[in-house]
Amino acid sequence: MIDRRHFSLGLLVTLGVQAPSRAADARVQHEVQAALGTRVTVTVVHASPAPRREALDAAWRVLREREALMSRYVRGNPLQALAEQAGRPGWRAVPAPLLQVLQAAQSVSAFTDGAFDATVGAYRDWQFGPDAPPHVVSEARLRTQRPAVDWRALQLDLAQGRARLARAGMALDLGGIAKLPILQDAMAQIAAHGIADAMIDGGGDVLCRGQLIDRPWRVGVRDPLAPQRLLGVVSLNDGIVASSGDYERGFDDGGRRWHHVLDPATGWPTRGVRGVALLADRVEDVNGLGSAIMVAGPVAARRWLAQRPQVQALIATPQGHAMTPGFAARLHA
């Protein structure tokens, strides 16, 4: 059950918050680079510079490799190959990391009755990149693309490591499902290099491991309409804060926000829920769920969250913010 709790109207985003004295500690190394279509921040803690450098290099390498593998914008990668073969006989072999993400996409699609659907890539005329001119796609164009959007027509052969798109015109957009597993793989590389304490912030999706010197990592939840003010801070040792919203990629036109979270049933950007923050211990419990809540709304969210009591949530709508009791208990000033 979600308790009502109102704040100033706004959107949600997460960011790593570090006390200055700890951030300046010689054991803490902090790097920021553009990756996965956003700004990624990696922070590692270790007494020796060499393991820190090796762990950071390994993490960035995984981020780049996975981005090239799973981005819909990289020519010649397996994702584009699947789209090119859509509707034709035969299967395409796909690398194991991509197959795992496709399997995760199918799992959350089944759980949410298709509110999350990676085949929204068929609505290919929408462009929300920083250099894309604002353009509202016509209803007539979306109508022609809707038959190609159906998560059940993404078919997987896990035993043989292959996949296919069963209908012509299909394409995948893994933006709502790939980032967390990629960040998780980067964190696994950091751990493999002997780093027990680290945080990765991938544009609002934050993974934490261990602690920052002598206390848990702190992840702030702020109002993007008043970015100087935090709604609060949650403390984590090992866990995830995942966010979805209409604020990161989009444009305003005609009194409406046009953004990158699309309703699979219509092809139009979602309306109603403005942002979601999810708190959990495991990536598998939250991956794709934020986008589904953006599509289906608070009523469906209550039903799904009741089935996943291990997930705590904050949901923003024009009427204010609703939190599960567990999220409210962990959110502090």
Question: Are the CB atoms for 117 and 167 separated by under 8 Å?
Answer: no
With a cut of 50, say whether residue 148 has pLDDT above it. yes
pLDDT digits (tens, 9 = 90+) for 25-37: 899 999 999 999 8
pLDDT digits (tens, 9 = 90+) for 279-313: 999 999 999 999 999 999 999 999 999 999 999 99
Q: Which ranges constitute the DSSP H helices of 118-222?
A: 139-145, 179-192
What is the arithmetic mean of pLDDT over 188-193? 98
pTM of the full structure: 0.91
What is the arithmetic mean of pLDDT over 258-285? 95
With a cut of 80, say whether residue 129 has pLDDT above it. no
The torsion defined by the Cα of 40, 45, 49 and 53, in degrees rounded to 10, comes to: -30
Of 20-29, 46-55, 220-229, 260-269, give the lowest mean pLDDT range.
220-229
Sheet strand arrangement including 92-93 = 92-93, 162-165, 154-157
CA atoms within 13 A on the CB side of 75: 0
Residue 231 has a pLDDT of 82
With a cut of 70, say whether residue 226 has pLDDT above it. no
Q: Both tokens of residue 44?
A: 């590692």
For residue 225, give the amino acid letter: L
Where does the pLDDT of residue 164 fall: very low under 50, low under 70, confident under 90, or very high at 90 and above?
very high
Residue 132 has a pLDDT of 82
What structural domains and CATH numbers belong to the chain?
Answer: 3-19+215-330 (3.10.520.10), 78-165 (1.10.3980.10)
